[in-house]
Amino acid sequence: MNRSSRQTAYFHLPGLFEFYDFYEVFLPLFREHGEFFYDWCDIGSIYGAPGDCLWGGGRMGYGDAKGADVKRLVEEYDISARLTFSNSLLRPEHLTDSACNRLCRLFESPKNGIIITSDLFLDYIREKYPAYYFVSSTTKVLTAFSDFRKELARPEFSYVVPDFRLNRRFEDLINLTQEEKIKTEFLVNECCSFTCPDRKACYEAVSRLALGEEEVFSCTSPDAGEGYRFSRAMKNPAFISTKDIQNIYLPMGFNEFKIEGRSLGSALLLEFILYYMTKPEYQLNVREELYLMNELDLF
């Protein structure tokens, strides 16, 4: 993926299938009212997967938009679509799934990407659908900086999303080459506890559920029962703010930023967009336009 400006923050937004109705309203607003949004940011991609996707991982159970409608929308606004196929527990027999292969055929293009955890799956996709670019998923939970750097060295991947706990390892990040920095994509708004011991097990539990396998998992992370809170995410040691992006990450040569939230609802998605992409003086304008044109799922 070639970027027109390395002084721009490219945000990768959640809900390709999950928030289709939201983007159907938001993308025209983003195109027609550029004055509402920071001139230093742009949309890098929209990522997601259908709710019943066998190859899905990370989050599941949301997203019922039709593939053809989603494809039409992203093509109309010239936006990269990323299929979140990050199930970490795929076996050879899962690779023949007809619905997932049909989706791959529909979206195959050098402009579009696939988010991947399983190396078995990566080998299959590279051979069968070579036009895509590939993203190494944060569900690999690469918490050791040395492991993250090894992942960056893999030529198969155009981008690598490290575990959020590496977000502020500036003593190591500053020593990455420019090529490595270009491939690094930070998860900016993670709410999970910085000390959570269950993150990998949580992702694997979701992968089992996607495969239709029984799974009993209980997260032991602090505050897990409260669900996602953006206010709490902002207090996370790994949180990346708009000021951080402008004053630290962009000057260091990092330009790719992923916003999580596929399962959080479009009201929270709007809050993320208002915070990260919208000028404060126009946040009310954006709210009004979307409230008037689209019924957000506020409850």
pLDDT of residue 299: 38
> In the structure encoding, which two tokens stand for residue 105, read together?
């055929």
> In the structure encoding, which two tokens stand for residue 175, read together?
């020593």
For the chain, the straight-line distance linking the first and the last C-alpha, in angstroms and rounded, comes to 37
Residue 251's contacts (CB-CB under 8 Å, 6 or more residues apart) are: none
- Return per-residue pLDDT of the chain as tens, 299 residues: 555 556 899 999 999 998 999 999 999 999 999 999 999 999 999 999 987 888 987 555 455 678 899 999 999 999 999 999 988 889 999 999 999 999 999 999 999 999 999 999 999 999 999 999 999 999 899 999 999 999 999 999 999 999 999 999 999 999 999 999 999 999 999 877 767 777 777 777 777 777 777 766 666 666 666 677 788 888 889 999 999 999 999 999 999 999 998 777 788 899 999 999 999 999 999 998 888 665 555 43
pLDDT of residue 6: 67
CA distance 213 to 52: 13
pLDDT of residue 228: 73
pLDDT of residue 58: 55
